[in-house]
Every structure is written in C-alpha cells, then in structure tokens.
Chains A and B, each alone.
Chain A
Amino acid sequence: SQQGEEDPQALSIQEGENATMNCSYKTSINNLQWYRQNSGRGLVHLILIRSNEREKHSGRLRVTLDTSKKSSSLLITASRAADTASYFCATDPRTQGGSEKLVFGKGTKLTVNP
C-alpha cells in the first residue's frame, strides 16, 4: 500500500516565490527523506529528518516533521527556475528487525516560471 501521499500533485509558481509541498504517511517511521527528480533522471537526496527531530534546514530548504500527524512539509524559499522538478518524500518505515527500504510518495511536480 502507498506509504506517502503528497500534495499538491502539481504546483506552479513564479521565480522568487516560496514553494511548500506536503507529505503524509501511514506507519511509524525511523526517518523521512526528501528527494528531487528532474524529468527522466535519477533521484537526488535533498534532506533527511529523523523521527525525533521537528525541523531541519539546508540552504533554501526547510523541512518540518510532525509525527503525531504523520506529516511533513518541504519549503523551498526564493525559488529559481532551476528548482523545476518533481519532489518526493520517502519514509523509512519502522519495522521489526529493522527496515530495509525507502517507500516513496507520489510526488509533487513543481514548475517555477522565470
């Protein structure tokens, strides 16, 4: 079953604006990660937030995690045309004996217009 659900599915903004993407998940997790994917290319890791963390920053990226609501958000500030890509959240489900995989959400397709 799908672990992560993201919204919005698509987001179109102007350069310089902020972009916020949300992710919800179903099971307990060890950590949550965000990945970026340019069309037809491989996924690139952006940021990892552990289950005992509430907020994390990396450059223009800000990630929050609310384990009580099983949700996370990714904020990209001062967006640029080069930020145009699909963004996926991925969870590391907490399973007996340790988890072995990341489960990806459906992704948000972000378009930043120059």
Chain B
Amino acid sequence: AAGVIQSPRHLIKEKRETATLKCYPIPRHDTVYWYQQGPGQDPQFLISFYEKMQSDKGSIPDRFSAQQFSDYHSELNMSSLELGDSALYFCASSLDLRLAGELFFGEGSRLTVL
C-alpha cells in the first residue's frame, strides 16, 4: 500500500541558508501535518492543512512557512536556518482528523544545520 513519501531523507545546510522539505500524502488523504522532532524529544506539531487550506498552527517559527498544493502534496520552507533547527521533520496525512482517525507518518527528513 502507498505510504507517505517525504523528500529529501537527509539534508545538510549551513546557518542562514534555506531548506525546503516535500511531502506526498497517501492518495485520497485530505489532511497533512508537519511535526518537528529534536533528538530524544517528542514530536512537536508545526502546522496542518485540510483541503489545501491551513487548518491549524502550532509552534512553527516565523522563519518557516508551508503550503499544500492542488495535488495535495505539501512543502515546508525553512529560511535563515539556525543550529537549533537540526531535527527530524515528519509529515503525516489522514482522512480528516476531525473524524478521529489515525495519522500515517512518513519516514521523516533529517535536517542538519552546521
């Protein structure tokens, strides 16, 4: 069965550079979530989209932005990268969390900021 696809899997950037992460949700899933997980930490919610509109926002820095496109894939753009942005970034999709369903996670994109 198709799963959530994230790219790239690994990314190394310098401070103050920009990075873009991509997420392709499971087909027919209409909700996408982005989470950030630091080393040894729990996943922290960043932002979500439902039917291409932002539906909720968490602890996402102003330097970060995201959008969901017409084909439902989503991109997380991170600018002016800082050392503290080094983390695993997960995308998850679901068939509308308001129906109280599970989230399907991708394998994550590991960002290292040097």
Contacts and interface: CB of A to CB of B under 8 A. Distances in A.
Interface of A: 2, 4, 30-31, 33, 35, 40-45, 48, 50, 88, 90, 92, 98-107
A19 to B, nearest CB: 19
B97 A99 contact: yes
B42 A33 contact: no
Nearest to A105: B42
Contacts of B33: 101-102
Contacts of B42: 2, 4, 88, 104-107
B50 interface: yes
A102 B97 CA distance: 9
30 contacts: A31-B100, A33-B102, A40-B88, A42-B4, A42-B90, A42-B107, A42-B108, A43-B92, A43-B105, A45-B103, A88-B42, A90-B103, A99-B56, A100-B31, A100-B48, A100-B50, A101-B33, A101-B48, A101-B56, A101-B58, A101-B97, A102-B33, A102-B97, A103-B45, A104-B35, A104-B42, A104-B43, A104-B45, A105-B42, A106-B41
A103 B105 CA distance: 14
A40 B97 contact: no
B90 A99 contact: no
B106 A40 contact: no
B43 A88 contact: yes
A2 B41 CA distance: 12
Contacts of A44: 105
Nearest to B33: A101
Contact of B97 (A43, A92, A106): A92
Contact of B56 (A41, A45, A100, A106): A100
B28 interface: no
B20 interface: no
